[in-house]
Amino acid sequence: MSLETARSLVADDLAAVEKKMHKAVSNVYTPLSDVLGNLIFSGGKRVRPMLTLLAGRFYPPDEHEKLISLAAAIEALHTSTLVHDDVIDGALLRRGQSTLNALWTPSSTIMAGDFFFARAARLVAETHHPRVIQMFARALEVIVDGELRQAFSARDWSQPKESYYERIYGKTAALFELATCTPAALGNAPHDHEEALRRFGYHLGMAFQIIDDILDFTADEKTLGKPAGSDLRAGIITLPVYFYIQQPERRRRIVDMIESHPTGDPIVAEVVQLIRESDAIEQAHNEARAFVDKALTDLEMLPDIQEREALAIVARYVVERSF
Among 18, 22, 44, 88, binds a second copy (CB under 8 A): 88
Residue from 145, 195, 270, 293 in contact with a second copy (CB under 8 A): 145
Phi, psi of 93 (to 5 degrees): -135, 140
Site for a second copy in 19-78 (CB under 8 A): 28-29, 31-32
C-alpha span between 172 and 210 (Å, rounded): 10
**Residue 11 CB partners (closer than 8 Å, separation 6+):** none
**Contact call for residue 111 and a second copy (CB under 8 A):** yes
Considering the complex, what minimum distance in angstroms separates the CB of residue 26 from a second copy?
13
Q: Cα dist. 78→26, 44, 170, 179, 191 in Å?
A: 18, 10, 12, 10, 26
Element (H, E) at 308: helix 306-320
Minimum separation from the CB atom of position 36 to a second copy (A) = 9
Comparing CB distances to a second copy, the nearer of 96 and 106 is: 106
> Rule CB under 8 A: is residue 143 a binding residue for a second copy?
yes
Site for a second copy contains 237 (CB under 8 A): no
Q: Quick check: 69 and 124 in contact, CB under 8 A?
A: yes
Q: Quick count: other Cβ atoms within 10 Å of Cβ 37?
A: 15
Quickly count: other Cβ atoms within 10 Å of residue 202's Cβ: 23
**Binder among 140, 174, 280, 302 for a second copy (CB under 8 A):** 140
Q: Does 164 bind a second copy (CB under 8 A)?
A: no
Residues in contact with a second copy, total (CB under 8 A)? 43
CB closer to a second copy, 84 vs 226: 84
Q: Is 292 helix (H, G, I), strand (E, B) or coil?
A: helix
Using DSSP, state whether 220 is helix, strand or coil: coil
Q: Which residues bind a second copy (CB under 8 A)?
A: 28-29, 31-32, 84, 87-90, 106-108, 110-111, 113-115, 117-119, 121-122, 124-126, 128-130, 133-134, 136-138, 140-141, 143-145, 147-149, 151-152
